[in-house]
Amino acid sequence: TETKTETTETKTVSTELSDEQLEFIDTAMKGESIFLTAAAGYGKSHCLKEMIKQLRARYDAPDADVSRVAICA
């Protein structure tokens, strides 16, 4: 995976995904039901943003059968 570092006003955040985060995204991309839970600072929001990005890339295509991604938080 590509590593990117973003600097915010208060801290630097690495955007590299862990093996567990990649597994979570892979499971979602297979269309399986998923539940994400972890301690503070694990990167849940980052993982969800990456998952949404990948799902949109797949399903927002003009020839896709589905045009929406639903997430409950």
Q: What is the pLDDT of residue 68?
A: 59
Asked whether residue 57 carries a pLDDT value surpassing 80, the answer given is yes
Q: Note the pLDDT tens digit of each residue in 5-47.
A: 444 444 444 468 999 999 999 998 888 888 888 899 989 999 9
Q: What is the pLDDT of residue 36?
A: 87
Neighbouring residues of 71: CB distance < 8 A, sequence distance ≥ 6: 48, 52
Q: What is the pLDDT of residue 35?
A: 87
What six digits make up the tokens of 62? 């003009």
Q: What is the pLDDT of residue 33?
A: 85
Packed helices 44-59 and 19-29: angle between N→C axes, nearest 10 degrees: 30
